[in-house]
């Protein structure tokens, strides 16, 4: 009886879905209840136009059993979306009750995305975005968007390495969205922001 009681206290392992492969996994408190959830990023081996599809599974613990709580398709880019750089997925982390996802890719022009999702209103909503894009000795920008309060900080540097000159442009505006995007069916880079009275367009 003693041994059986101790076994019951152990948390059951999560079974990886058939044909799936684990790319990354993290544990942390996502709903601020003092209990850790588990986030697993899977490669599904399902072919798309840009390589294999990825999915995020989020599990909650219930009586020492992991149960699937939320699932997302799209928030992790496919395996060949990074272009010349290959697989764009860099990893996930859990920071201040948020799921943070990092991607990068490109060739001469490099890009890097950071997306931050927080559980609120019964969904994981996008609350923060950072986009870096550009190439050395040409044009490079940093776009930081706090969707919770609408604050946007944009900095663009145009440089000429031959003449050793550079120009920096900075913008700060506030743009609140009526509805925050959710992690379900979110696709990095498919979301557009246009600065008022400007030709500058950012895809995040």
In a domain, 70, yes or no: yes
Question: What SS3 class is residue 24?
Answer: strand
Give pLDDT, residue 8. Answer: 47
Residue 180, domain extent: 20-203
Whether the CA torsion 73, 22, 68, 118 is positive or negative: it is negative
Q: Predicted confidence band at 5 (pLDDT cuts at 50, 70, 90)?
A: very low
Residues of the chain with pLDDT > 70: what percent? 95
Is 141 strand, coil or helix?
Answer: strand
Which pLDDT score is estimated for 7?
A: 41
Domain annotation covers residue 167 = yes
pTM value surpassing 0.85: yes
Residue 50 within a domain: yes
Does residue 7 lie within any of the structural domains?
A: no
**Which of 147, 200, 202 lies closest to 176, judged by CA?**
147
User: How many C-beta atoms lie closer than 10 Å to residue 73's C-beta?
Assistant: 16
d(CA 196, CA 22): 42
Helix (H) or strand (E) holding 65: strand 65-73
Give the chain's domain count.
Answer: 1
Average per-residue pLDDT for the chain: 92
Q: Are 73 and 58 in contact (CB under 8 A)?
A: no
């Amino acid at each position: 009886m003693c041994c059986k009681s101790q076994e019951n206290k152990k948390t059951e392992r999560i079974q990886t879905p058939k044909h799936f492969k684990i790319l990354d996994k993290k544990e942390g408190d996502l709903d601020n209840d003092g209990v850790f959830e588990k986030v697993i990023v899977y490669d599904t081996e399902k072919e798309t136009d840009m390589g294999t599809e990825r999915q995020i599974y989020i599990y909650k613990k219930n009586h020492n059993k992991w149960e699937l709580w939320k699932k997302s398709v799209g928030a992790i880019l496919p395996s060949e979306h990074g272009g010349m750089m290959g697989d764009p997925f860099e990893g996930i982390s859990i920071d201040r009750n948020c799921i943070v996802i990092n991607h990068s890719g490109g060739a001469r022009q490099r890009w890097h995305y950071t997306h931050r999702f927080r559980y609120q209103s019964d969904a994981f909503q996008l609350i923060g975005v950072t986009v870096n894009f550009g190439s050395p000795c040409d044009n490079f920008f940093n776009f930081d968007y706090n969707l919770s309060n609408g604050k946007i900080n944009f900095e663009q540097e145009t440089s000429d390495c031959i003449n050793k000159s550079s120009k920096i442009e900075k913008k700060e505006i506030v743009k609140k969205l009526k509805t925050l995007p959710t992690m379900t069916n979110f696709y990095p880079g498919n979301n557009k922001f246009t600065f008022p009275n400007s030709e500058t367009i950012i895809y995040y």
